[in-house]
Structure 1
Amino acid sequence: MRWAGDRVARRATRLLGGLALYGCSTALLVRAGLGTDPWTVLTQGIARATGLTLGAVVVLVSAGVFLLWLPLRQRPGIGTLANAVLVGPVLDQALRVLPAPHPWPYRLLFLVGGLVGTAVATGLYVGAGWGPGPRDGLMTGLARLGLSVRVARTLVEASVLVVGWLLGGTAGIGTAVYAVGIGPLVGYFLPRLALRSNEPGVPPRDGHTRASRPDATVDSSAP
C-alpha cells in the first residue's frame, strides 16, 4: 500500500510540472510571433495598453475571471488557485530567456512546441485532479446554465480574442492552428497523463470536474 503522502506528492508534482510547462509553452507561442491562443491575445492587448508584463496581466485576468465564478457558483480547488498565481510568473521568466527567432522554420518550431507543450501541460495539471484552471471553470460554469461546453468555450474565446486583437494583441496563423489543434491534442494526452481513477486518493473520473474532459479544457488552455 502506498503511503498517502506519496500520492499527494505525485499529484502535486503533476500539477506544478504542468503549470510550469504551461507557462513555458505560452512563452514559445508568444516568441513565435505568429499568433497565440485567444486568452494570450487578450493578455498581450492588456499588457500593451497598461505597460504591465504579460505574466502580471495573466494573474490579474485570472483574478477577474474568479469574480465571474461567484454568480456561476463555481468552487475553486487547489489546482485552480495554483494556476492563477503560478503560470504568470513562469511565463515572464521564460520570456526573459527565450530568444525571438526570425527564420520561419524556427518560428514554426516554436509554434508547434508551444502547441504540443500546452496540450501536455493541460493533461498534467488537469489530470492531477485538483481543480480546473480559472478559464476552464468559467466555461464549465456557463455550461451549467444550459449551454454546451463547446458553445460556451466558443463564445468566451471568440469574445476575448476580439477584445485582445482590438487592444493590439497578436492574432494570426498561429491562432488558427491553436484553435484547430488544441482539442485533438488535449484529447490524446489527457487520458494518458491523468492519474488513474482507481488509484487510492484519486477521485473517480465520473466525480471529477468536467474540465477534465477534452472539450472542456483551455488552454488550453490556458490556463
Structure 2
Amino acid sequence: MTRESGSPRGVLARRLVQLYTGLVLYGVSMGLMLRADLGLEPWSVLNQGISRHTGLSIGTVTVAFGALILLLWIPLRQRPGLGTVSNVVILGVVMDLTLTWFPELSSLGARIPLLAFAVVLNGAATGLYIAARFGPGPRDGLMTGLHLRTGRPVRLVRTCIEVTVLVAGFLLGGSIGVGTVLYALAIGPLAQFFLRRFAISGLPPTPSRVVAGTGSSPARAILRK
C-alpha cells in the first residue's frame, strides 16, 4: 500500500478505505484477544468488568463508554473527526460480531498463538486508521485534552489514565494476564511499524514516534485506541 492516485479524490478514497478497514480489524482484534482469554488491554479490561455487572455485551459497553468519553471532550475543547465518531460506533459492534462468529477455545496451545495474532492485528489496525488522518479515537482525545488543559506531560497523563482504567476494570472482574503485559510491550513498536507502512503520500508527515508515547508531544502518545 505504497502507491495511490495522485488526485485529491483518489487520496481521499484511500484514506476512507484505510480508516474503515483499520477500525473493523481493530474490533476483530479486540474480540480475538477476549477469545484467547489470556488478558486484555486496559480499556477492554474495564469494559469487560462493566459488562459482567450490567449484563450488557462487552461490545455494547465499548460503544456506550466511547460515547461517554466523547462527551468529556466538550469541556476539554477537543474537536472530534470522522475517525473519532466512527471509532465509537464500529469497534464495539465488530467486537460483538467477532465473539458471535469465533468460538471459545479451551486449548492453551490454540489460545497462545491466537493472542499473538490478535496483538499483531491490533498493531496493523492502529497503523491503518491513524495513518488515514481522520482524527484520534475518543480515548486518545481524552489523553491529549487533559495534557493540554493540565500542562502535565503526555506520558504521565496516559499512564495515569491507563493505570486507573486497569485497576477499576480488575476490581470489576475484568481479565488481566500475560496478554495485558504483551499488549503493553508490543503495541507501540507494532503500531509505529505499521504506521510507516501505511503512510499516505501527499499528507503532512507524521512524527516518527507518533505511537511510542515517550515524547512530550500529544501526537507521539496516540495509540487505540
TM (normalized to structure 2)?
A: 0.89
Contact 1:59/1:84 (8 A) holds in 2: yes
Query: How far apart, CA to CA, are the structure 1 residues paired with 2:155 and 2:37?
Result: 27
**In structure 2, what is the equivalent of residue 205 of structure 1?**
205
**In structure 1, what is the equivalent of residue 19 of structure 2?**
15
Q: How far off its partner does 1:151 sit?
A: 1.3
**In structure 1, what is the equivalent of residue 102 of structure 2?**
98
**In structure 2, what is the equivalent of residue 170 of structure 1?**
175
Q: How far off its partner does 1:211 sit?
A: 9.8
Any stretches of 5+ residues in structure 2 without a counterpart? 214-220
Backbone CA RMSD of aligned residues: 1.8
Alignment pair present for 1:63 and 2:70: no
Query: How far apart, CA to CA, are the structure 2 residues paired with 1:88 and 1:194?
Result: 26
TM (normalized to structure 1)?
A: 0.90
After superposition, where does 1:20-99 map in structure 2 within 5 Å? 20-99=24-103
Q: How far off its partner does 1:28 sit?
A: 0.9
User: How high is the sequence identity, in percent, across the aligned residues?
Assistant: 46
Contact 1:140/1:211 (8 A) holds in 2: no
Contact 1:25/1:115 (8 A) holds in 2: yes
Alignment pair present for 1:127 and 2:127: no
Contact 2:192/2:209 (8 A) holds in 1: no
**In structure 2, what is the equivalent of residue 140 of structure 1?**
144
Q: Secondary structure at the match of 1:214?
A: coil
Selected match of 1:214 from 207, 212, 215: 212
Query: How far apart, CA to CA, are the structure 1 residues paired with 2:153 and 2:136?
Result: 17
Query: How far apart, CA to CA, are the structure 2 residues paired with 1:76 and 1:119?
Result: 22
Q: How far off its partner does 1:141 sit?
A: 1.3
**In structure 1, what is the equivalent of residue 218 of structure 2?**
none
Range moving further from structure 2, 159-168 or 16-25: 159-168
Range moving further from structure 2, 9-18 or 98-107: 98-107
Range moving further from structure 2, 65-74 or 42-51: 65-74
Matched positions, count: 213
Q: How far off its partner does 1:3 sit?
A: 3.6
Query: How far apart, CA to CA, are the structure 1 residues paired with 2:191 and 2:181?
Result: 16
Q: How far off its partner does 1:150 sit?
A: 1.6
Query: How far apart, CA to CA, are the structure 2 residues paired with 1:76 and 1:97?
Result: 31
Residue identity in the other structure for 1:102: S
**In structure 1, what is the equivalent of residue 113 of structure 2?**
109
Q: How far off its partner does 1:190 sit?
A: 1.3
Any stretches of 5+ residues in structure 1 without a counterpart? none
Residue identity in the other structure for 1:182: I
Residue identity in the other structure for 1:163: A
Contact 1:136/1:211 (8 A) holds in 2: no
Selected match of 1:191 from 189, 196, 206: 196
Residue identity in the other structure for 1:99: P
